[in-house]
């Protein structure tokens, strides 16, 4: 804000003003919003960070009649603070159920039902995610309560007047109304992050509720035919998708978004009235799951580009049919860290040779050691078997690159595509075992090893 104020005044004169300390009973966030967002005032705190009943502002002009300027600014601010104090007290005259009920008649979108229906879908989705993450019974109970009420503050007078405080006042009021502190915190955190690089939720309940809220929005709007195009994104779906990707990556949560959304759709189809979507939108839900997953992958691409990751590495991790975005980030980081290792080029070339063959030649066969005809076949089979037990992407990549001598000897001594179908499929099965492990790290066919030094 300092830069903003600096740019709108030509002859700055700073001055201090104040307000009655009785207004300090209103939450700090409300007072600061009133000063900062509406009046461009700078708030004042003491040495311990406690808000004081004073402000600093800047006049465009000299100090002449500055007392009148101060008095005028104080009068304007007090009017806003009086409104805030009024709403703060009035809102507490009703309970959460009173406000939550009102959400039934507030439209989430004309095609997508009410806000209340949106929260029921998000609550169901949060339960599905919590199950995947093995939340305790206590966590699931608190998450269910948060999912039930997390939008109630939208109907309060305070948020109606200061919409910047949505979520913030939800937490404040939830605490005042006796809700569990973890539930109240999740209500505030579900809006996070509010920008591509914004602060992420701190609590597990907040993280899951934020994921559920954003994922339902993405699926619902996509099914309703409202997909962002070009620079047009009126429902901030790109921001929602970035939020999902960032939360997952930050927590290294391996969540199968495709499966999670499909489970939600099953719940919706089982009780269409409860979840409030029109039939024409419901009919398109499953058809748009892949589109949502691809949309999230696009956000991964953007994030990796912003980090300066090489394009071929980005392609290798995003064109690999990974079920979760977290693995995309992890694989990209590992590949970028090792791309200049001495054995990287030869190791990748060996893996890509294997993957070219397996991509074109599928087989259902399992390896039969009795069909081996040379030592190289046995050596590769025995070399790849331990790779399957290696945990961690970094260690897995190292193990794969170390297969290079065995792969080279295999192709030197072995003709894969022979006329004997049993032998051919047995050899393909060995190569598929290599390729299957390789795809747990990346699609090596997308890597440009000529770019590796």
Cβ atoms within 10 A of the Cβ of 344, count? 19
Q: Residue 62 has what pLDDT?
A: 82
> Do 51 and 24 meet the contact criterion of CB atoms below 8 Å apart?
yes
Question: Is pLDDT above 70 for 69?
Answer: yes
Section 49-73 average pLDDT? 91
Say whether pLDDT at 8 is over 80. no
Q: How far is CA 407 from the centre of its chain?
A: 39
- The mean predicted confidence, pLDDT, of the chain is 94
Residue 434 predicted with pLDDT over 70:
yes
- The predicted structure's pLDDT at residue 419: 94
Q: What angle do CA 289, 290, 295 make, to 5 degrees?
A: 100
Per cent of the chain over pLDDT 70 is: 98
Q: If you average pLDDT over residues 302-315, what whole number do you get? A: 95
pLDDT at 71 over 90: yes
Q: What is the pLDDT of residue 43?
A: 94
- Please provide residue 109's backbone torsions phi and psi, each rounded to the nearest 5 degrees: -165, 150
Q: Does domain 99-103+111-306 have CATH number 3.40.50?
A: no
Is 0.95 topped by the overall pTM?
no
pLDDT class of 1 with cuts at 50, 70, 90: low
Average pLDDT of the segment spanning 58-68: 86
DSSP character at residue 411: H
Q: Average pLDDT in the 4-33 region?
A: 87
pLDDT of residue 320: 86
d(CA 83, CA 158): 9
């Amino acid at each position: 804000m300092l830069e903003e104020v600096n740019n709108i005044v030509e002859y700055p004169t700073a001055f201090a003003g104040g307000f009655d300390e009785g207004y300090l009973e209103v939450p700090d966030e409300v007072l600061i919003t009133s000063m900062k967002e509406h009046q461009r005032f700078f708030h004042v705190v003491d040495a311990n960070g406690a808000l004081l009943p004073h402000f600093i502002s800047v006049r465009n002009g000299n100090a002449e009649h500055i007392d009148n300027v101060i008095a005028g600014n104080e009068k304007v601010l007090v009017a806003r603070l009086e409104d805030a104090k009024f709403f703060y007290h009035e809102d507490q005259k009703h309970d959460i159920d009173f406000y939550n009920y009102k959400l039934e008649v507030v439209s989430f979108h004309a095609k997508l039902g009410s806000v209340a229906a949106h929260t029921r879908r998000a609550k169901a989705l949060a339960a599905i995610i919590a199950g995947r993450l093995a939340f305790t019974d206590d966590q699931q109970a608190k998450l269910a309560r948060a999912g039930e009420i997390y939008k109630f503050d939208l109907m309060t007078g305070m948020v109606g007047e200061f919409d910047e405080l949505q979520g913030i006042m939800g937490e404040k009021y939830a605490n005042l109304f006796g809700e569990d502190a973890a539930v109240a915190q999740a209500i505030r955190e579900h809006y996070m992050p509010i920008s591509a690089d914004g602060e992420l939720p701190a609590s597990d309940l907040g993280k899951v509720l934020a994921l559920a809220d954003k994922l339902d929005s993405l699926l619902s709007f996509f099914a309703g035919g409202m997909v962002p195009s070009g620079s047009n994104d009126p429902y901030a779906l790109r921001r929602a998708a970035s939020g999902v990707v960032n939360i997952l990556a930050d927590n290294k949560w391996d969540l199968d978004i495709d499966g999670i959304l499909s489970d939600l759709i099953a719940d919706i189809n089982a009780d269409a009235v409860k979840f409030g979507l029109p039939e024409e939108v419901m009919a398109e839900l499953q058809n748009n799951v892949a589109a949502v997953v691809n949309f999230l992958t696009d956000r991964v691409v953007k994030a990796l580009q912003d980090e300066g990751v090489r394009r071929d590495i980005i392609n290798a991790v995003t064109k690999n049919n990974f079920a979760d975005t977290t693995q995309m980030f992890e694989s990209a980081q590992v590949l970028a860290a090792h791309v200049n290792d001495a054995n990287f080029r030869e190791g990748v070339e060996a893996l890509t040779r294997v993957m070219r063959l397996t991509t074109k030649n599928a087989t259902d066969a399992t390896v039969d050691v009795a069909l081996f005809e040379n030592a190289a076949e046995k050596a590769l089979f025995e070399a790849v078997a331990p790779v399957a037990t290696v945990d961690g992407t970094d260690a897995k990549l190292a193990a794969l690159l170390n297969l290079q001598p065995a792969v080279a000897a295999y192709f030197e001594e072995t003709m894969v595509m022979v006329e004997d179908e049993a032998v051919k499929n047995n050899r393909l099965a060995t190569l598929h075992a290599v390729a299957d492990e390789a795809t747990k790290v990346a699609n090596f066919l997308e890597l440009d090893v000529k770019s590796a030094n």
